[in-house]
Amino acid sequence: MKTLVIVEHNNDSIKQTTYSTVTAASKISEDVYALILGHNLDTAVDELKKCDHLKKIYLVDKEILSKPIAENFCDEIVKFLKDKDFTHVFTPSSTFGKNLSPKIATELDVQQISDIINIIDDNTFERPIYAGNAIAKVKSNDSIKVVTVRSTCFEPCKLDSQVEVENMSSELSKNELVNFVNYDESKSDRPELTSAKIIISGGRGLQNGENFKLLEGIADKLGAAMGASRAAVDAGFVPNDWQVGQTGKIVAPDLYIAVGISGAIQHIAGIKDSKFIVCINKDEEAPIFKFSDFGLVADLFEALPVLEKKLQ
Amino acid sequence: MKALVCVKRVIDYNVRIRVKSDKSGVEKDNVKMSMNPFDEIAVEEAVRLKEKGTLTEIVVLSIGTESSQETIRTGLAMGGDRGILVKSSDEDIDPLNVGKIIKNICDKENPDLIILGKQAIDDDCNQTGQILATLLKYPQATFASKVEKNNDNTLNVTREVDGGLETIKVKIPCVITTDLRLNEPRYASLPNIMKAKQKKIDILDINELSLDLKKRVEILEVNDPPERKPGIVVPDIDSLVDKLKNEAKIL
């Protein structure tokens, strides 16, 4: 058993998702290797070298790999795998991994296992289906297991090692069918919904977009990301990309605060992996109470200013 | 230009999912089924591209039982021109095999664009578009939130990636998978629903395709997710803050 972890990074630093994926890989066997592709990777590799569990880091530094274009990454990874004996290829189940990993699996003619949350043995995994409303235990019969890992389900590995790095040469030529144009990083001072430790979301109960300001002060104090229910998005209160739920973002923060959200099935599906759920709603019959660790029956317009003050 | 739009019939997103007591899967009998929401966005995008004059024909493809014809009809009522159903009694086809089936159809239909949802809300795999692009050796633009046609037979596609938006330029033919922000799908009007009944759906049997579709992944069992332990209702903000500080140890 020998696992390769495909490293997610931004050329300057390693993404947390990589560290969780290393932990997941270490549950298959202690033979864990990492492959990092990119350009000008010195500082990123310095970080990666500290990863516990890794036997070795393979490094491909090439200009055409400076942007994570899936076609180029896939070509390089498939070439790399050719004369090696890896039994497992693990990639974080982020947009980077979701875009890339199925291509690797297809080139190897194997069926990828997506978004695993638990490892039973070297060919059996658990993964959420129906947005986490059911958990499937699946067994792969393929010779190489290509897997994406839900990083929120595995602790990041420790960073106290000193791992050997092998520089790999590359004859990769650029795929001419696709070109990178630009990357527009979200300018928000708030954390991303999918990686935030605390999220505060509003629903139809907020009545209009203006009232989302009531959540802002609390979000600022908690360093929280802001989200919304589908009802609030459909009503035009806030932009689409705020939507948390089965058809929006699936989140798993330490604390999720649902304000004026009734708790429709499709919203619950997107938040049920949160460590703690708090709701504030004036309708004590609202389904959200059944899923909340702590619920407060209150008029949100009275409760929110008080809560903000208490968080001083 | 011609587009192939792939649609999947799934349990409606508003239905509460029930795991079968024998753990073999989830209950699908007498449950409302709908088009996968992301595929609806794919159909809508194709219809908009046709309205703009970029596309001349939209073919709506589904793989599944006879009932998947309804899903195709929904796509035709939204503005698709004709449909193809690849009939299969097995509804749990591995995405790799789904990709191989769609490729087989592409080899006959030669679409310029293949548009499909980024994932189906039943198995949540998020793979089919990427698999198909790899099999066809076409470029892929996944998680699209904006699609613009350039004059030189390329598309600029803005992609929703973690932490921001990435724009790539892909040569046509290509595969696009849709994300939520791309558009808001229309409701089919009654006249269009009536008209869709006259549109043609070709039905192929999956076995006629002579593909090797052996199962790679076995579903051993399907379970309910771990239940959340029952919570409590707190009387006021003070006790809420106290619970978060002292019990949850978050604040």
- The string of pLDDT tens digits covering residues B89-128 is 988 899 999 999 999 999 999 999 999 999 999 999 999 9
Checking if the pLDDT of B215 tops 80, the result is yes
Which residue in chain B has the smallest CA separation from A93?
B126
Q: CA of B169: which chain A residue's CA is closest?
A: A179
Decide if A272 touches B, using CB distance below 8 A.
yes
- pLDDT, tens only, B68-92: 999 999 999 999 999 999 999 988 8
Alpha-carbon span A176 to A7, nearest angstrom: 24
Binding-face residues of B in 48-87 toward A, CB within 8 A = none
How many Cβ atoms sit within 10 Å of the Cβ of residue A190? 16
Give the rounded percent of residues in chain A with a pLDDT score beyond 70: 100
Provide the CB-side half-sphere exposure for B197 (13 A, CA).
Answer: 5
Contact yes or no for A295 and B124 at CB 8 A:
no
Residue-range domain boundaries for chain A: 3-167, 198-310
Confidence at B227, pLDDT banded by 50, 70, 90: confident
Quickly state the pLDDT bin for B26 (edges 50, 70, 90). very high
A95: pLDDT strictly greater than 90: yes
Given this chain, do its domains A3-167 and A198-310 carry the same CATH topology?
A: yes
Q: Which residues of A touch B103 (CB under 8 A)?
A: none
**Superfamily in which the A198-310 domain is placed by CATH:** TPP-binding domain (3.40.50.1220)
For chain B, give the mean pLDDT. Answer: 96
B 31-50 near A (Cβ less than 8 A): 37-38
The chain B residue lying nearest A268, using CA atoms, is B16
Residue B26 DSSP SS3: strand
Strands A124-129 and A134-140, bridge-based pairing: antiparallel
Residue A186 has pLDDT above 80, yes or no: no
In order of A34, A79, A179, B55, B145, the CA distances from B135 in angstroms are 26, 17, 20, 23, 24
Non-local (6+) Cβ contacts of B21 within 8 A are none
Encode pLDDT of A10-60 as tens digits: 999 999 999 999 999 999 999 999 999 999 999 999 999 999 999 999 999
User: Confidence band (pLDDT; 50, 70, 90) for A130?
Assistant: very high
Distance CA A106, CA A13 (A): 29
Chain A hits for B179, Cβ within 8 Å = none
A268-294 mean pLDDT = 95
Place of tokens 């046709």: B50
Q: What pLDDT shows up at residue A189?
A: 83
Q: Using CB atoms and an 8 Å cut-off, which of residues 171-190 of chain B contact chain A?
A: 171, 174, 180-181
Complex ipTM, two decimals? 0.95
Q: For the residues B224-251, what does the mean pLDDT come to?
A: 91
All structural domains of chain B with their residue ranges: 2-246
What percent of chain A is helix, strand and coil (3-state, nearest 5)? Answer: 30, 30, 40
Among A102, A111, A135, select the one facing B216 at the smallest CB separation.
Answer: A111
Interface test with B, best of A94, A100, A125, A133 (most B CBs within 10 A): A133
Cβ(B179)–Cβ(B144) below 8 Å: yes
* CATH of range B2-246; options 3.40.640.10, 3.40.50.300, 3.30.70.580, 3.40.50.620: 3.40.50.620
Residues B250 and A255: beta-carbon distance below 8 Å: yes
Q: Which CATH class is domain A3-167?
A: alpha beta
A94: contact with B, CB 8 A cutoff: yes
B96 CB neighbours in chain A (<8 A) are 105-106, 109-112
pLDDT of residue A93: 95
B116 vs B128: CA distance, rounded Å: 8
**Low-confidence winner among A69-73, A208-212, A265-269, B80-84 (lowest mean pLDDT):** A265-269
Rounded mean pLDDT of A142-164? 95
3-state secondary structure of A50: coil
Q: Which residue of A has its CA nearest to B157?
A: A181
pLDDT in tens, B232-242: 999 999 999 99
Comparing CB atoms, the residue among B123, B162, B228 nearest residue A291 is B228
Residue A76: band (very low, low, confident or very high) from pLDDT cuts 50, 70, 90: very high
If you measure CA to CA, which chain A residue comes closest to B13?
A266
Rounded mean pLDDT, B17-35: 96
Please give the pLDDT value at position A152.
84
Q: Report how far apart, in Å, the C-alpha atoms of B167 and of each of A8, A68, B142, B170 are.
A: 19, 12, 11, 10
**Half-sphere CA count of A258, side-chain side, radius 13 A:** 37
Please say whether the beta carbons of A72 and A63 come within 8 A: no
- Tokens 């560290």 correspond to A19
Residue from A16, A130, A186 whose CB has the most chain B CBs within 10 Å, to mutate: A130
The answer to whether the CB atoms of A293 and B231 lie below 8 A apart is yes
